[in-house]
Amino acid sequence: METNHLIARVKQLAETYFTEIQAIRHHLHAHPELSFEEHETSAFVRQTLEKIGIHDCQSIAGTGLTFLINGKKPGKTIALRADMDALPIQEANQVPYRSKNEGVMHACGHDVHTASLLGAVKILNQLRDSFDGQIKIIFQPGEEKVPGGASLMINEGILENPTPQRILGQHVMPFLPVGTVGFRPGKYMASADEIYLTVKGKGGHAAMPEMLVDPIVIASQIILALQQVVSRKASPKIPSVLSFGKIIGEGATNVIPSEVKIEGTFRTFDEKWREEALNHVTEIASGIARSMGGECIVDIHRGYPFLANHEAYTLSNIKAAADYMGKENVVDLDLWMAAEDFAFYSHHTDACFYRLGTRNETRGIVSGVHTPTFDIDEEALKTGMGLMAWLAIHELMA
């Protein structure tokens, strides 16, 4: 089938399936589940696949699902991935499909990702005689929570039997207008580690500081000193962020507490520097506390590595996306200091992770992800399912 005709067919199917995929997105949005608790979501996805005619779906990593779509004859294997988990956020939107689960919301668009991949599956299943090879479909749990569902799926063999040569993922982007997508070849998203510091001293009456070891003062010195990890120890060529967002010192105006807790994050784009920086955090925090008569217990939770988009594969997808949507609707992305566990896949095989525009200022759909008012212009679902299907077909035709 000629390329232009095939693109037209994919677009036609995306239009045809839109109402159904929109209803699926509404159901998912109304019934969000937290990371690694996606039992009802997983069951709903499996039931939806069975209605499509896919009955060989396998469970993996708890609530994860995977299966193959086979083309007309053997060839290479590629993978498409969507995440399914939601966030512990109380939804503020007053829409018919608002969350029914108190304190849980699809505030990061994973309902969009799952619905879009289901739409792409319907399209690819319909057009399986148009390509060779096979497509491994991955519905993944737990993207929002360390150690990340991607790492668990990899450990359980998702990238084996068969091994995909390429993997593709998409993510909503509320800063991009609906009808557009964004790509960036090479390094794109940062690694992310969680830092937990417990500063211990000797508490007591605030009027007698000479008899105490003040953990508030020690904590203050530690936070200020740790800013030098980035400003004086990092190469200016490596983007890095060290931020502390939580300090708990439960004293009072006249009470010095015995301990202070500090929580923060470190993000960067280089694995060697990542290790060095975290060692600096441990040494500086422990050393300052010790020099001031106290103690600092450092607990670092290793998160996701940096995400690198394979250069050639991403450039190929940019061209294919331009063919599908028009060059003017495909934009270049900058480095993004947020993290994504899709990064694990990118360290094992050729990967491309791109952004799906969902913004509509005219309709007031402008809220960022991880906020109680996040929502999308649902026209993005047409692009979400259609483009992913086309990029898969394009790669298998290459």
**pLDDT tens for residues 114-153?**
999 999 999 999 999 999 999 999 999 999 999 999 999 9
CA separation for the pair 112, 106 (Å, rounded)? 9
pLDDT number for residue 317:
98
> How deeply is 178 buried, as exposed, middle or buried, from its count of CB atoms within 10 A (0-12, 13-18, 19+)?
buried
- 91 labelled catalytic: no
pLDDT at 323: 97
CATH 3.30.70.360 assigned to domain 192-304? The reply is yes
Q: Is 143 a catalytic residue?
A: yes
What is the reported pTM?
Answer: 0.94
Q: Quick one: pLDDT band at residue 398, thresholds 50, 70, 90?
A: confident
Note whether 307 and 173 are within 8 A (CB).
Answer: no
Q: Is the pLDDT of residue 25 over 90?
A: yes
- For the chain, the average pLDDT equals 97
Q: Is 329 left (phi over 0), alpha (psi -120 to 50) or beta?
A: alpha
- Amino acid identity of residue 386, one-letter, is G
Q: Which of 33, 37, 38, 85 is catalytic?
A: 85
pLDDT band of 1, cuts 50, 70, 90: low
Which one, of 52, 57, 65, lies nearest residue 20 by Cα?
52
List beta partners, residue 171: 355
pLDDT at 284: 98
Give the pLDDT mean for 334-344: 97
Topology of 3-189+306-397 in CATH?
A: Aminopeptidase (3.40.630)
Mean pLDDT across the stretch 330-353? Answer: 98
Which percentage of the chain shows pLDDT scores above 90? 99
Q: What stretch(es) of the chain map to CATH 3.40.630.10?
A: 3-189+306-397
Catalytic residue among 37, 83, 143, 214: 143
By percentage, how much of the chain surpasses pLDDT 70?
100
CATH 3.30.70.360: which residues of the chain?
Answer: 192-304
Structure tokens at 260: 């202070």
pLDDT at 251 over 80: yes
Is residue 2 pLDDT above 90, yes or no?
no
H/E stretch holding 342? helix 342-346
49-71 pLDDT per residue, tens: 999 999 999 999 999 999 999 99
| pLDDT exceeds 70 at position 397 | yes
